[in-house]
Structure formats: structure tokens, C-alpha cells
Structure 1
């Protein structure tokens, strides 16, 4: 009997000539809708030397086509922790900002400008124009918005509740919510599923969708002096800056928002212990919402696949390990993102994530919208690795 040495149980990938053009125009539609420039907009790009200049050119060309003007300001890196004084007058003049800078989300100066109506797009995940040719770039942004809204609908209304994180490694971590915190958290444009920068005062991510976070300081209107009730232990599988998932079960213990203990004997555990003790949680479960984002790609700030979580920790001091390992990282060495890919998360008695699966993917509203774009099962539940 002749032994077969070639197997063909799955279809051969289609030739790029058949697929690439239509895929590109799907992604281009998402791009132009996200960067919702208006005639007369003064657009400011806050850039860094490692940003693909074609990204700037794409933004510039799209803005010019709509009658907007573009200026570019570049800092030596994207690891800007506060808006430099020299930039503030330029930034104040802009009506629309495209930024790679780390401080974009939390700097009080930026927050104040958004309250006045300035629109922002953060491009942490769009540093290379070739990303327009990826499945996540062409996944419908309206569907990402509906997935996000469906998750928000699972938060209990009008009653206190705990956001509870567990997994098979023994994580048992809780964040306490009041009704007011819940309304503050879910009132942001990103939690309302607004994926384009059309709305005055908006802040969106492109490529969609990094976050929004299950908890962050939006819950207390970004008043960092207001403590949030949280406690317990997380056993993360991985962290940005580590080449592979952890082989050891490493425990990260919290006393309120601050890390009090890190357990484990491996080199990874010792590195984390040196970095994390005394660090403060600022992103409690940054969740992915794009079903075509690669699940096991966690650089630069955590996987964006649905149900994948990152926990952002601000450190007491810059970490030498990060400075050595990621000298050109897009974030400063005072921040660490812990990653969990298999968490179960409940909000009160409502399940948000079941062993890494974002439950909203099967909500009727999400499935109904997905039918407009193709097969809901393929669109929503085919994982990209």
C-alpha cells in the first residue's frame, strides 16, 4: 500500500489576488470612518521617531481630502508621561489629536481639552501601515461597538456589586462598584460602543479595540485621590516584556489598589517581585473586544482578543528589567501589563467572561448585527492566533 505523504483535509488558502483588494477596502472603510475629520479641523499628530511615517501620510492624506489641516509634533519617544509645556499651546489649538504618546489617556491637560470637545484617536496599535492588511483591521467596527455595548449591559444597574476575577490557577480578585461608579465607568464613549472619533470630547483606539477597561479611574471621574475597594490575588499567565507565558504559578496579592506581595521562586517571579511591590492598579481588566485580534500577541499592551485581559500596574520606580529588555517599548518603564487569557469574570450575578470567552459574543443583538456582515459563528468565534 502506498503511503500518503501529503494531506488535504482543509481548503487551500485563496490566492491573494482574489482576496487582498476586497479585504483592503474593508479595512480602509474602518480607517476613514474612525478618523472622522471635519472640514476646517486643525489636526495635530503627536508622534515619535519609531512611528511608520506612512501612518502619518495616511492620516494627512485623509484629512486633506476632507478639508482639514495637519501638523506633526515629535518627541524623542512615545514614552511621554506628561504633556511638555512647549507643546501645550499647539495642543490647545487643535480640534482633533492623533497620538502615540503614553500620557494621552490620563494627563489632566488632555482630559481638560477633551471636556471642551477636543477629539482624540490613540494609535498604540496602528504604528505600521501594513496593519491595514490584517483581519483585525477589516473586522467591522460597528460590530466591535455592539460587542462592547452588550458587555456593558451585563453590569448590574442601581445596586452595589463586585467585579470578581477567578481562574483555574486560583485567582480570586474583587473590585467593588457602587451604582455611581458603574454609571461613570460605562458612560464613556468607548463603553457606549462609539468606535469613530465623531463625537465631541471622544477618545478612541485604532486599531479597534484595545479596551475599554472593565474598571479604571473613569469610575471615579479620574480622581486619583479616591480609593477603590479592591483586594485579593491574581495569578497572571504572562506579562508584556516576557517572551513566553510563565511556567510557574506566580501570585500577585493586593491590599486595596496596591500590590503587597508577589509569590514564586522562578526568575520571572523574582523579576516581578522586584518591579511590582508597592505598584498601583490603574487598569483592572483591560478587555479585548475584536474577535480577529491575535489572541497570543500581547505586545505592546495586552491582547485585544475578546475576553483576554490585561491589568495595568504603575510602578513605584522605573524597572531596570524593562529598560534592558524593551528599550524602545511604546510605554515607559514605570508601567507593567499583567495578562490573563482564561479568566472568568462576573459582575454581581452576571457573567461577563467564562474561562476566557467573552459572553457577549453570543448575545442576540450581537449575533443579529453579525449576520449583516457574514456568518456570525465565523466572525465572532473563530480565534486568530
Structure 2
């Protein structure tokens, strides 16, 4: 007769337990080789340099030399010999004058420099057709052998397109952000703002640098932003109606999620107040007041680690990072991240459990990106494997 005494069902003490309830990681060489080549397929497609083109590498000394060798080797295999400019740091906030003539002559640019996306000179080069790959998330060649590196880039693109389709068409609407901590942030969108923002190659689900003016990230994890200044054609003088309060869970440069509740108050496109008490309250007030939300990033790669927020916010689907440009360099950032990939005039605040409404249509509910269950996304995922595993088994 089976032992039905309650003690038979009591869990063993954690420190005494020995056993295994989940499969061990794959270590068979044939399995690992196959996974490696899945990632290589993404790698070769994203870095779409073509024979006869001029390629420029904007690098920094802390970039893994094997990353440079891998990308340069791919270029040379296509008959392209890259030029390289080495800056002392990734924290280049504007394109140096001495580099501009080289950049003007390039067809294809690979960059680790911060200024790549925001510098007006770089934007102008893309408008004339120059193609860019930003490698913030590919600073170590070992990252090639991670689940996020081999997650199919076409599937990332389908997830992004399904999200874009949820933005209301031909009407004004609010992006509305809430969460269990009390966040209540509104960003007023016009129909024109939607058109400007969603016209980019990434919002169209194009993950490779193969069309004129392309700007993509590698690893293929940092998707387009739910809101950024492209929505107003990068007009720095225009005041966007960003109003409300955000209670972030965490911030880049802070060792663990916030134990206290800090309210970041926005009024007419600027941070006017940081509420709350605790060890970081004064630091956040000094850092953030006066700052502007320049990007509100969302993760789109289901195999990006959920709780890994360094260097620029989680890239897991539905995780948000509020990218804020500061009015002055933060001494706190300079102390704790002196060699951060981004300069001390920027801060990413992170939330994992937000709900985001575009008008009356949900984009994200309780941290879950709704596009992951769209029929077109599930159908495409099924071509590559188990759709639930690919889309909803998120690494921590």
C-alpha cells in the first residue's frame, strides 16, 4: 500500500535535495554545431555588405578583437576590405570632424559608437542610402552561441510587423503605459507621427542591412522603439505631449531592482520631478529632473535574457526601457559605469510588467507582448520548431 502519510509528500530540504527535474543543457558536439550554424545564418544575412562596396568599421578598444575579425572576414570573403577608425571609447556623442570624410565615402558602416543613431550627420548619411549595423549587443564573439543569436531573424521581423499593425491607422491616439506600481504615462500620437515612426526598416520587420538607409542591430534582439523622436522627424525643438508618471522597476547602473517606489513625473516632454524616498531618491532626482524621453524601447527577441538589463535595457518581448537623455552628465553613472557603452548623459529605466495601449488596442499586457500570439507569428514560428518554446519560453 502506498505511503499516504503527509510526510511522504513533504518536500526535501533544499540543502539536502539531490536529483533533477529538467533536462540537462545540450552538450553533444553535433547538436552544438547545428546551433552554431543557425546563428551563422543570421550573422551572414545581417551583415549584408556587397562586393565592391566601401565599408567602415567604427570600433573601440574594449570590443572583442574576434568580433572585428569575424565581421571583417565576412567582408573580405565578399571582396570588401574594411577601413577601421578606433575611438578611445564607445561614448562618442557626436561624429568627430576628422572622421566625417571617411564616413561620407562609405556604403556600409558597422559601429559600436553611441552617436550612431542620433547624430544628425549619421542620419543624413542614411537618408542618402548608407546602411548601418550597430553592434552594442555583439561585443563578445561568444555571444554568437546564444539562443538570442540563433533566434530566426525573419521571425523577429514578423513579431515586429504584428506589433506595428496594432497601432491605429489614420487617426490620433494615445500610447498609454500602466503597471501594478502605479505608472500612468500618456504619449499623444498623431496619425502623422505614426506614419513617420513606423516607416523605418525595422518597424517594417527588415532585420538585415540590405536596403538603402537601413539601420539594424546585431545581435538581432533590440527591436524598434514604441516611441522615439523619429515620430517627429527628429525635430529637437518640437514638444511631444509626454505626460504622466512612471514607476520603474529598475535602472541600468543600479545593482538590483528598486526596493522603494520612485515616481518619475513627466510634463510636456520633460521630467519635472522624482518622488519617493530611499537610498537612490536623491541620485535619481539629480540625474533625471530636466531630462527628456527620447526612446521607449521594447524587446522583440523571445530568447533574449529577460532580467539582463545591461547595457541598455532588457530585449525580452514586452520588457520596456525608458531611454532618457539627461541635461548634464551624471556623476553617479560616471562612478559606477565609467566605461559604459553609453555616455553618462543617458539613462535607461526598466519595467517588466507594463501594459501598453495604443488607443483602445493592447500592445503589451502585464509584460506580455500580444503579437507573440498572433496567428501569423505562431504559424511562422511553427516552421522553425515548437512555437510555444520559441515564443514563450523566455530565458531569465
The TM-score range, normalised by the shorter chain, is: over 0.9
| 1:222 counterpart residue number | 234
Which structure has the larger Rg?
2
**Matching residue within 139, 143, 146 for 1:131:** 143
Contact 1:287 1:309 in 2 (8 A): yes
Deviation at 1:230, TM superposition (A): 1.4
**Matching residue within 370, 384, 387 for 1:376:** 387
Are 1:21 and 2:33 counterparts? Answer: yes
Which structure 2 residues correspond to residues 1-385 of structure 1 after superposition, within 5 A? 5-283=17-295, 285-385=296-396
Normalising by structure 1, we get a TM-score of 0.98
CA distance in 2, matches of 1:13, 1:202: 36
Contact 2:160 2:223 in 1 (8 A): no
CA distance in 2, matches of 1:232, 1:120: 35
Please list every run of 5 or more consecutive structure 2 residues that lacks an aligned counterpart in the other structure.
none
Indicate the SS of the match to 2:45: helix
Indicate the SS of the match to 1:92: helix
Could you report, residue by residue, the CA deviation over 1:216-267 in whole angstroms, capped at 9, with x for unpaired residues? 0110111111211110000000000001000001100001111000011111
Normalising by structure 2, we get a TM-score of 0.95
User: How many residues in Structure 1 have an aligned counterpart in Structure 2?
Assistant: 384
* Over 4 Å off, 4+ runs: 1-5
Contact 2:242 2:269 in 1 (8 A): yes
Deviation at 1:375, TM superposition (A): 0.5
Could you report, residue by residue, the CA deviation over 1:115-163 in whole angstroms, capped at 9, with x for unpaired residues? 1110000000001111001100000000000000000000000111000
Contact 2:179 2:355 in 1 (8 A): yes
Deviation at 1:5, TM superposition (A): 4.5
